[in-house]
Each structure stands twice: as structure tokens, then as C-alpha cells.
Amino acid sequence: MQSNETKWLEAARHGDAQAFSRLVEMYSKPVFNLCYRMLGNGQDAEDAAQESFLRAFRALHRYDPNRKFATWLLSIAANYCIDQHRRVRPPIVSLDDDNTDEVPERSAGPEKRTVQRETKDQVQKLLNNLSPKDRAAMILFYWYEYSYIEIARELAITESALKARMHRARRSLAAIWQEAQAQPLFAQRSVYEKPIP
């Protein structure tokens, strides 16, 4: 796998789009998942993921082969999504027009699927309360198991600033969760419509 990746990367660096599309296939899931968690809906996530790959292909001459390709790629996607948030505020998560696939779990019965769907809704609603940079940090930490040093480097902030941000984000999420648990209309609460200042 690694040697294939190196081979495709080398070809792509010389402008071979076919080779790069192999890398697109290989990394479409992690990049898409990151964009989905950042932007909150399938359509925007697809667009952001496609654009991230396009930017990566054009910036391949700047890629340092000593660095892990996936890390470099995900940092492009994360920063692109942060920029998108700055430009236009994305709509609140729409769960009905979701054209994405969950990574399938064979044993999931109807009850389990319902629980999974509820979990998905809650996770996305919680994430929507964070600022784009905080959200990126949390996603890279919990879904991609990046270390603080790696996240700080990718988001161009110091490690101490990142730790402070994540501490603040965790407390915010815990507070929102605690409040939401106390009220029945979790899904319709306005608290999810704007980030905590």
C-alpha cells in the first residue's frame, strides 16, 4: 500500500492526474468525513472534499515527502473548510437531504440503526456549536487521533493555544449537553444555531 502510494505520488508530482485519482480514491473517505464533520451536510462536504483534492493536486510541488501524505491532505481539507466558514455561514445541519453513506456495520439491526442515527444527529449538532477552528481541532483529535503537536501544526497555532481552545470547547460541549439533557426538545433548541462566543 505504502509503495503504491509513493509510486502514485511520484507520478502525480509530474502531473499525472490518473495517478492522483488513485490517491483520491484511497483518501476519499477520511477527507470526506472531515469535511462532513466540519460543514454538517453531505452536499457541502462533497464539494469541499473535491476542492481539497484539487488544491492538493495543484500544490503537490510544495508537498514534503518526509511528511505523511494523509496528514498534509487533511490539513488542506481542514483549512479549506475553515475558510468556507469564514466566507459563508453554512446552513444548519440538514439530516433529510443527506446523500452520504455511513461506513456499513453488518450487525446493525433496526434498533441499533435508530440509535446510530440519533447519535449522528446529536454529534453533528454539538459540533455545530463550536467555532470552525475548534471544530477542526476536535475532529482531528477524536476522529483521526492526531496528537496536540500535529493539530497545532496543521492549524498554525501554538500547542498551548490549542490546548486552551480544546479545553474551552470541551467545557462548552459539556455545558450544552448538560442543558440539553434537562430539556426535552433537544433538536429544536436555538442553542445549536449559533456558536458560543
Partner 1 sequence: MKNQFLDPETPEEAVMLDKAWLQVEELFFAARHKAPAAGFAYRWQARWLQAERRQERVRKQWEWAANLMAVGLLVAVLTIGALAALGQPFFSAVFSGLVSLFASLITFMRVNLTVLAAIPLSAWLAFSAGCGLLLAAWTIMFRRAVVSKE
- With CB under 8 A as the contact rule, the residue among 3, 181, 188, 190 that binds partner 1 is 181
Among residues 66 and 96, whose Cβ is nearest to partner 1? 96
- With CB under 8 A as the contact rule, the residue among 9, 12, 19, 32 that binds partner 1 is 32
Residue type present at position 67? R
- 120 near partner 1, judged by CB under 8 A: yes
Tell me, by CB under 8 A, how many residues bind partner 1.
49
- With CB under 8 A as the contact rule, the residue among 94, 113, 114, 179 that binds partner 1 is 179
CB contact burial 50-73 (16+ within 10 A = b; e otherwise): ebbbeebbeebeebeeeeebeebb
- 22 near partner 1, judged by CB under 8 A: yes
- With CB under 8 A as the contact rule, the residue among 13, 173, 189, 195 that binds partner 1 is 173
Among residues 50 and 63, whose Cβ is nearest to partner 1? 50
- With CB under 8 A as the contact rule, the residue among 10, 83, 102, 193 that binds partner 1 is 102
Among residues 51 and 72, whose Cβ is nearest to partner 1? 51
Query: How far apart are alpha carbons 10 and 139 in whole angstroms?
Result: 29
Cell of residue 96, nine digits: 433529510
Backbone φ and ψ of 44, nearest 5°: -65, -35
- 84 near partner 1, judged by CB under 8 A: no
Q: How many CB atoms lie within 10 A of CB 27?
A: 20
Query: How far apart are alpha carbons 131 and 195 in whole angstroms?
Result: 6
